[in-house]
Chains A and B, each alone.
Chain A
Amino acid sequence: MKLTEFIRDRLTAYLIYAITWALVLVFLIAFQVPAEAIIIVSILVLLGVTAAELWAFLRKKGYYDKLTSDLSQLDKKYLLSEMLDEPEFLDGRILYSTICEADKSMCEHIAEYRRESSDFREYIELWVHEIKLPVAGLQLMCHNDGNTRYSEQLRRIDEYIENVLYYARSGSAEKDYIIKPVLLKRIFGDVAVRNRGELQERGISLSTSDLEYEVMTDGKWLSFILGQLMSNSLKYEATEITVTGEDFADRTVLNFRDNGIGIPVSDLPHIFEKSFTGENGRTHTKSTGMGLYIVKKLCDRLGHAVEASSVQGEFTEIAIIFGRNELYRFE
Chain B
Amino acid sequence: MKILIIEDDSALRDELALLLKNAGYETECVTDFASAVVQMKSSSADLILLDINLPEVNGETLLQDFRRQSSTPVIMLTSRTSELDEVLSMSYGADDFITKPYNPTILLLRISAVLKRSAKTGTSQTYHDAEVSTVKGSLTRGSSEQILTKNEMIIFQLLLDRIGEIVTRDELMTALWDNDEFVNDNALSVNISRLRGKLAELGYPDAIETRKKQGYVLK
Chain B, 137-176, contact with A by CB distance < 8 Å: what is the 0/1 string?
A: 0000000000000000000000000000000001001100
**Given that A133-B9, A176-B84, A219-B86 are known contacts, is A193 also in contact with B102, CB under 8 Å in the complex?**
no
B54 within 8 A of A: no
Does the CB pair A137–B87 fall under 8 Å?
no
Name the contact of A196 in the complex, choosing from B22, B87, B101, B174 (C-beta under 8 A): B174
B15 within 8 A of A: yes
Shortest distance from the beta carbon of B12 to any chain A beta carbon, whole Å: 5
**Given that A206-B182, A207-B182, A208-B180 are known contacts, is A141 also in contact with B15, CB under 8 Å in the complex?**
yes
Q: In the complex, how many residues of chain B place their beta carbon closer than 8 angstroms to a beta carbon of chain A?
A: 33
Contacts of B104 in A (CB 8 A): 139-140, 143-144
Does the CB pair B53–A129 fall under 8 Å?
yes
Within residues 15 to 74 of chain B, which ones have a CB less than 8 A from any CB in chain A?
15-16, 18-19, 22, 53
Please report the C-alpha to C-alpha distance between residue A128 and residue B79 in the assembled complex, in whole angstroms: 8
Shortest distance from the beta carbon of B111 to any chain A beta carbon, whole Å: 14
Bin chain A's interface residue count.
Answer: 35 or more
Please report the C-alpha to C-alpha distance between residue A47 and residue B177 in the assembled complex, in whole angstroms: 93
Shortest distance from the beta carbon of B190 to any chain A beta carbon, whole Å: 14
Does the CB pair B101–A135 fall under 8 Å?
yes
Does the CB pair B81–A140 fall under 8 Å?
no
B184 within 8 A of A: yes
Chain B, 71-98, contact with A by CB distance < 8 Å: what is the 0/1 string?
A: 0000000011111101100000000000
Does the CB pair B174–A137 fall under 8 Å?
no
Does the CB pair B18–A134 fall under 8 Å?
no
Does the CB pair B81–A133 fall under 8 Å?
no
Please report the C-alpha to C-alpha distance between residue A96 and residue B170 in the assembled complex, in whole angstroms: 73
**Given that A129-B53, A144-B15, A193-B103 are known contacts, is A137 also in contact with B178, CB under 8 Å in the complex?**
no
Please report the C-alpha to C-alpha distance between residue A195 and residue B77 in the assembled complex, in whole angstroms: 20
Interface residues of B, Cβ cutoff 8 Å to A: 9, 11-12, 15-16, 18-19, 22, 53, 79-84, 86-87, 100-106, 170, 173-174, 177-178, 180, 182, 184-185
Q: A144-B22, A224-B81 are in contact. List 16 more A-B contacts (CB 8 A).
A: A128-B79, A133-B11, A133-B79, A134-B11, A136-B102, A139-B102, A140-B19, A144-B104, A188-B180, A189-B178, A189-B180, A193-B174, A196-B174, A200-B184, A205-B184, A221-B83
